[in-house]
Each structure stands twice: as structure tokens, then as C-alpha cells.
Amino acid sequence: MQRHQPNSAVARSILLFAFGVWILAGSTANAETTIRELSGSAATPFPAAIPAGTDPNSTLGRQLPIAMGADVTSGTPSNSQTQSASNPRIRRSLSLEQNLLGVGPAKTLSPPHVQATAVVGSNPLLRLSFDGINGVGQRLANGGNQFDNEPPDQGLCAGNGYVMEAINVALRVYDSSGNPLTGVTDLNTFFGYPDNYNRTTGLQGPFLSDPSCYFDADTQRWFVSILTFDVDPASGNFLGPNRIDIAVSATSNPTGNWAIYHLPVQDDGTDGTPNHGCSLGPCYGDYPHIGADKYGFYVTTNEYSLFGTEFKSAQIYAFSKAALASNAPVVTVVQFDTTGAVQSSHGVQPGFTIIPAVAPNAQHVAASNGTELFMSSNASQEATGIAGGSFSNELIVWALSNTESLNTNAPTPVLRSTVIRSEVYGIPPWANQKIGDVPQAECLNIDCLGFGPPPNPQVEGPLDPSDTRMFQVWFVNGSLWGALDTVVAVDGQNKAGVAYFNLNVGVDFKGHPNASIENQGYLAVSNNNVIYPAIAVLPSGSGVMAFTLVGEDFYPSAAYALINSNGTNSVHIAGLGIGPQDGFSEYAFGGGRPRWGDYGAAVSDGSNIWFANEYIAQTCTFATYMADMTCGGTRDKYVNWATRISKIRLE
């Protein structure tokens, strides 16, 4: 069942001064809503352990899925700018795609000049740090019936004595001491799908991407979401239908039973979806992220054309949290399309990367019959329409009110947004790495894999620094926390750094949000780059901002800084990188866009803060690689990434 209803016309666009910041007030977002019902599966057990494969460099069949590169068994180069059924270009960033073509961001403002933060020694508050899933572990899950994949987008959740890590495309459960309670479980099996890639039959299962993970303290349930694409089993070509899959635990134990719900998001009028008119047929829901308040569970996506080139707008999906937590056989979902919903000082814009807030210890907004908060930015090409993106000094705060109605048969939540002035941020430059051994690049240059000569010499590349999209959003004690990557001028160089924000946020009785900046700032390291931040803050006001540190002095390393309402302190290393990334995505056959984890994660289990980031935990010479492309089991021929999970005790 589905029905459409306009949320309301765009209301006032008057510039007001309040709370010490300029606010573009207050309006009801011009968001069309669609209401439909989804059926869930009966709760099924956590997948039984499947022995890991033994050969990460198996030459049988394909090595990479179509969405990640060409068929490397034939050596066909991948052109990341060509959109087709055989190269759908998912995991999109129009700003970075244009910058790869030499179209730099518009210089509407100047990069902020930032004082460098020192990198210091160990921190006694770091109580635990251990390696999570790495590239070899992901590839060998499910008996080795997996593709290579990068980046390992980071989902992390913790509670009730458990920690769960979900990445592209595997997960694992640990106890609170870091001991594994499960094997590395592939996500295709976890969600009940055929193998990612069956190396006996050559058949491919659905392509999964962008996992997120959340433990809800209210209901004592675990949530895992993933973006799923249907593919032709024989060719791997994308067929069009795609969905957000949501797995919900039946108990407080993540190793027990789970129910699974499938939310179609192709928005072409099929499978109960609205028709948003994407060119060449289906849309798709990129970069899904999840959050929750007292009454609702929320998923947000960036909607692009799957086979075309255009961005449409961010989508917000709202569910009854109680219905999902009870593993109800049918749940209702309310969808909001944010086309034209942002009243920026630069004109009407679509929402882009609207991140729902996560609230620890049931710190929910009770106003207006329950309200979920979201935050987004607007410097990217998707928001501005400017090729390569631009600069901005605005943030968008969103409030979805009347969320209590999600527990009724006729839910009527209302979406509103406010634009406020902030510090300046802009599209960051590519993040250079410390020079080291890149044996895969050297191998490709002599055609040791038989793909044919590369079009250009392959060399160590920089890392993808993101595009000013908002990352994880955290709500505690009436404050909204968030961070994004930006260009910064530090010690005479333009580098990738972090802009972070601490907002006081309120909601009036009609659900209109009001927001003011309590504190904001930048974090940058001289000669180096700080990318993919994630913030979690305890009710005491003390927290952690985790990120990757990489540059002239550091191989990609898992790092963090303590943060509170006064800002950040020194940078600490949780996992020191020992070599550069040497992954397929930065080379010709992988698309030439050097991918890095599209997001990190930081969460609280009540008294501790857990965080996870990608880093590089191995290195080897070209000679070692040529003798053994696993370099002693530390990598496989196409990827060498790892993840690091750490725990900070602040109270």
C-alpha cells in the first residue's frame, strides 16, 4: 500500500538573527511523502559458522564486482566516468568525479587558515585497541565465495556487553574485551542472499554496499542496514531494483535470531515506490545511514539515477521503532523526498547527505510529540549545482516531529528545516600518503597479472578525502554534534582537515527547529591530512572524535582526539599505519578513484566510547609480493586495508 501527500508548501524564507547566529528561518520542508507497508521475514538464527576460504588470490573467475571495476579476468580498463549497465558507478560523489576530470571546486570563499594540532604519544584513557576485519578476512569469508572490495565502510555498534563491526561486506561480533564471538560472516549470507560470488558455479548474488549498525538501548535490539542491488547472476550486470535491507535482532543478543525487512528504493514506480523520474529508469539510494529517537527508526539516502548521471535529492524513511523491535510481520514506512526543501541564502536546494542523529542513554527530544533531529551541509555539487562543488558557511538542521504517530495506523510526522550560519568549509584536496612500497602498482606496470599494459604508469595514489558531506550526527544533553571534511590552510599548505560543530538545538510546540552554534572549530595536522571523522559524546559532555590520519609523515593510521564543548585536544594514534594503501580502486582497472572508508564510526555503550576506522596494517616489497601475493597472509593481490576498533574510558 502506498499513498502520497504533500508535506506543505515552503514557508517563510526570512533571514533572522537569533542566538548569536544568522538563521534562515523556519520552514516546513517542501517534501512529498509516501506511505507504504513492508513485510518482514520470520526471525531466523544468526548464520552458522562457515569455514573461511584458504586462497585469497584464487584466479578462478572474476576478482571484482562490476560496480568496483572491470572484469579483471579480461583486463578491460574501467572508465569511472562512463555510466552503463556494466558500470553503474555507485557510491557517488559528483564533486570528486568532476575533480578527477580536472574541474576544481569553485573559489567562492577562501580556505580557512587553521592552527596545526600536535600529534602526541599514547593516551592512558585508551583502554583497548585491536584489529577488526581486514581485506583478507572479508575476501575469505563464506568459504572464499566473496569478491575483493574497498573501501570497508565502517558500521560499529556496542551495548549489553557486545560489540559488532559491519563493513563492506562482512560483519563480526565481539565481547566487550575484544574477543571474537563469531567468525567473519559475509553479509550476503547474513541477509539471506546467494553468495556474493560463487567460485564453483561463477554465479553472483546481489551486490551489497554501505552497511550501518546501531544498538538501541530503549528496546535492547540491534539494527543492521545495507544497500542491496539485484544483479544478473551470470553476468553481474545491475538489473535496476535496489533496496535498503534492515535486519533487527529478536533479543538483546546479536548472535541470536534476526528478522529482515526489505525497503525498495529504486523510486521508478515499481515495487510500491514513487516515481522520481530518474533518467534511464531506476534511481538508487546511495550512502544509507541510520538513527533513532524514542518512537522512530530512520534511514536516510542520497538518491541518484542508477544508470544516468544526475543526483535527485536526499530521502528520509521513518519506521515505528517498536514495530521493528518486536519483529512485527508488517511495518509502515513514511518516505520524505527533500527535493527543493533547503532554503539556502544561495537559493532553493535539495537535501544532500541528511544524517539522522543517534542519541545515547535515551536522550530523545520529547517536544512536539517526539522529534528526531538530522543535520546536513551544502557545499557539494549535489547541493549547489556547481561543478566540482564550492565553499559554504551554512548548516541545515532538520526536525521530524510528531514521531509518536509512527506507532499508529495513520502516521503523520512532519519534516521541517532551518539553515544557520557556520564556519567556512569547502571541498578538500586529495589526501596524499607517506611514500612507501606499492607492489601492486609495480606489478601492473610490468603486466604481471596479464591484463595488458596500463594506459599510464601506475604509482602510489592519494586517498579520497570525501566531499564536505556530513558524517555521523550525535545528540546528547540538547546538543547536536557533527563533523565533515574540508580544505584547510595549515602551515602554508592546503590539506584535508576536519570542521566540527556543536549546536544547541530546540524544537517549538509546532515542531520548528531552532539552532545556534555553541562551539565549532577545525582540526588539522601540519604536512598531513585528517579525514572521515566520527564523533560520540557522553552525557558528561566529554567525547571522542575518531578519524584517519595520513600524509607526509604518516601512512594511513587510525587516530582520534578528545572533544568537548571547548573543542579538541591533541591527536593520538590508536592504530599506526605501516605502509601506504595499495588497493585496486586507485589504479586504472579499478576506476582511478583512490577509495577510502566512506565513513568511520564512534558509539557509546553507556560509559565507554568505541570507535573504528580504516588503516593500513601491512607492508611488503615488490619482490616479496611477486614471490607471495599475500605477503605472508597480510593482504591479497588487490587490497591491503585493515580496520582498527578501540575503546576509550572517559568516566
Q: What are phi and psi of 384, to 5 degrees?
A: -90, -25
> d(Cα 582, Cα 437) in Å, to the nearest integer?
8
- What mean pLDDT comes out for the span 417-438? 97
CB-facing half-sphere around the CA of 296: CA atoms within 13 A:
35
Written as nine digits, the cell of 589 is 582497472
Q: Which of 70-84, 288-302, 377-391 has the lowest mean pLDDT?
A: 70-84
In angstroms, the Cα distances linking 540 to 111, 116, 216, 361, 602 are: 33, 27, 20, 12, 16
Q: Is residue 393 within 8 Å of residue 111, measured between CB atoms?
A: no
Q: What is the largest CA-CA distance in the chain?
A: 68
pLDDT at 637 over 70: yes
Written as nine digits, the cell of 365 is 527530544
The per-residue pLDDT for 28 is: 52
Q: Is residue 377 within 8 Å of residue 484, measured between CB atoms?
A: yes
> d(Cα 586, Cα 444) in Å, to the nearest integer?
12
The per-residue pLDDT for 607 is: 86
By CB neighbour count within 10 A (0-12 exposed, 13-18 middle, 19+ buried), where does 430 fall?
Answer: middle
The per-residue pLDDT for 8 is: 35
> d(Cα 321, Cα 569) in Å, to the nearest integer?
37
- What mean pLDDT comes out for the span 226-244? 95
Q: Is residue 258 within 8 Å of residue 252, measured between CB atoms?
A: no
pLDDT at 504 over 60: yes
b/e map 63-86, b = 16+ CB within 10 Å: bbbbbbbbbbeeeebbebeebebb
pLDDT-based confidence at residue 87 (cuts at 50, 70, 90): low
List the alpha helices (DSSP H) in 548-627: 622-627
> d(Cα 26, Cα 339) in Å, to the nearest integer?
17
The per-residue pLDDT for 60 is: 67
pLDDT digits (tens, 9 = 90+) for 509-550: 889 999 999 999 999 999 999 999 999 999 999 999 999 999
User: Phi/psi class of residue 200: alpha, beta or left (left: φ > 0; alpha: ψ in -120 to 50)?
Assistant: alpha
- What mean pLDDT comes out for the span 97-120? 92
- What mean pLDDT comes out for the span 576-604? 91
pLDDT at 651 over 80: no
Q: Is residue 427 within 8 Å of residue 487, measured between CB atoms?
A: yes
- What mean pLDDT comes out for the span 190-208? 96
The per-residue pLDDT for 121 is: 85
- Would you list the domain boundaries of the chain? 2-649
pLDDT-based confidence at residue 15 (cuts at 50, 70, 90): very low
> d(Cα 481, Cα 485) in Å, to the nearest integer?
14
pLDDT digits (tens, 9 = 90+) for 308-353: 999 999 999 999 999 999 999 999 999 999 999 999 998 999 999 9
The per-residue pLDDT for 248 is: 98
SS3 230: strand
Written as nine digits, the cell of 62 is 572474476
